[in-house]
Amino acid sequence: MTPPHSAPPPPPSAAPHVHHPLFARFYARFSVSADTKGGLGELRAELLAGLSGRVLEIGAGNGLNFAHYPEGVTEVVAVEPEARLRRLAQEAARTAPVPVTVLPDTAEALPLEDASFDAAVASLVLCTVRDLPRSLAELHRVLRPGGELRFFEHGMADTPGLARVQRGLDRTVWPLLFGGCHTARAPLVAIEAAGFTLGPYRSFDIPEKGPRLPSSPCVLGVARR
């Protein structure tokens, strides 16, 4: 009989559970109007312009980026762990201009080979992953040397007052209300810390005018493995 201490390790667990049904319903509606009326569609097109080859997208949500992939992209592998959003992403994949496969995995544990992608895309997701350094380490692992990480993310404000508010919200209601989102993460710092070289990027607010919201400060750009 096999003694308990020499039992084989359990098989790799399925993707960790990400279950935000209320947020998923809200995001499925809000994101579409933000794209069409709030100008996010144009930012998605800017984020993806000029990409080519095999592309990985993490936390694809309802698949709003898919329509914007340029024709030089040969294949998109998208991961989306939330069931409702994943179903919507799979629908969006059917009408995408390039082939898109949607997987149920998380950014922290990509079931993908080392150096197997030319580019990776993170849009409005580094705020939400459970383990940011691990997610970025996974992106670094699956990108080929010289591969691009395209990012469009919101993050910590450069003004102490709003940054203080963001930290308070992150400790209390914000992640509960918005599907695990955090407002005070620093995506550029985290991307560099994961070993990427930052390329051109720009910082701006959404919305551009009016009161600054906790999720207003954004960055959009490129980093290279």
Which stretches of the chain bind ligand SAM, using CB under 6 A? 18, 27, 31, 58-61, 64-65, 79-82, 85, 106-108, 123-125, 128-130, 179-180
**Cα(36)–Cα(20) distance, rounded to whole angstroms?**
24
| C-beta of 24 vs 157, nearer to ligand SAM | 24
Encoded tokens for 42:
């144009």
CB of 94 to ligand SAM, least distance (A): 18
| C-beta of 30 vs 199, nearer to ligand SAM | 30
| C-beta of 119 vs 124, nearer to ligand SAM | 124
| C-beta of 103 vs 163, nearer to ligand SAM | 103
List C-alpha distances in Å: 111 to 25, 56, 96, 142, 177.
27, 12, 23, 10, 29
- Strand pairing category for 73-79 and 100-103: parallel
Q: Say if residue 176 is exposed, middle or buried (CB neighbours under 10 Å; 0-12, 13-18, 19+).
A: exposed
CB of 113 to ligand SAM, least distance (A): 18
CB of 8 to ligand SAM, least distance (A): 27
| C-beta of 61 vs 155, nearer to ligand SAM | 61
For ligand SAM, the nearest residue by Cβ is 61
CB of 215 to ligand SAM, least distance (A): 10
CB of 117 to ligand SAM, least distance (A): 15
For residue 163, what are the contacts with CB-CB under 8 A and spacing of at least 6?
Answer: 156, 157, 184
Closest by CA position to 187, among listed 156, 208, 157, 222: 156
- Strand pairing category for 53-58 and 73-79: parallel
